[in-house]
C-alpha cells in the first residue's frame, strides 16, 4: 500500500492471494488495485441486482447465482476466486444470504 493510500484490503480478499501459510504471494500494489476494482464492482452491481430481483429473478439466490455466472464467463476480467468474492461481497451489501457458489478450479470458493 502506498503511503497516501488509506484503503485497507479486506482479509477475505487478501486470502485470495495468500499461500497456505497466509503470506501474500503477490505484490501489495497489485492486490490493492484488484481489491479496489472488485469492491467497486460489487458496489456498482447492487442496483442492478435489486432491479433484477424485483423485475425478473425468482429469488435473491437466483440473482446472485446469475451474477456469479456472468462474472465467471470472462476470465480476463476477474479470476474465478475474485468472481466468488465479488458475489459474496454483493450479498453482504444487499444483506442477502449468499448461496453456495461453484468452487474455482484448484481451490475452494473465496470466503467473504
d(CA 84, CA 65): 10
Separation CA 1–CA 18 (nearest Å): 16
In this structure, the number of other CB atoms found within 10 A of the CB of residue 7 comes to 11
pLDDT at 1: 41
pLDDT tens readout for residues 4-61: 566 789 999 999 999 999 899 899 999 999 999 999 999 999 999 999 999 986 799 9
Does the global pTM surpass 0.75? yes
Torsion region of 106: left, alpha or beta (phi above 0 gives left; psi -120 to 50 gives alpha): left
Give tens-digit pLDDT for 48-106: 999 999 998 679 999 999 999 999 998 889 999 999 999 999 999 999 999 999 765 54
Entry field: residues in the chain: 112
Amino acid at each position: 500500500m502506498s503511503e497516501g493510500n488509506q484503503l485497507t484490503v479486506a482479509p477475505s480478499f487478501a486470502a485470495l492471494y495468500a499461500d497456505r501459510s497466509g503470506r501474500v504471494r503477490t505484490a501489495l500494489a497489485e492486490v490493492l488495485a484488484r481489491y479496489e476494482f472488485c469492491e467497486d464492482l460489487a458496489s456498482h452491481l447492487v442496483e442492478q441486482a435489486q432491479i433484477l430481483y424485483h423485475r425478473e429473478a425468482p429469488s435473491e439466490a437466483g440473482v446472485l447465482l446469475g451474477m456469479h455466472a456472468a462474472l465467471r464467463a470472462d476470465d480476463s476480467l476477474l479470476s474465478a476466486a475474485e468472481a466468488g468474492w465479488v458475489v459474496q461481497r454483493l450479498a453482504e451489501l444487499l444483506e442477502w444470504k449468499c448461496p453456495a457458489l461453484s468452487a474455482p478450479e484448484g481451490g475452494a470458493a473465496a470466503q467473504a
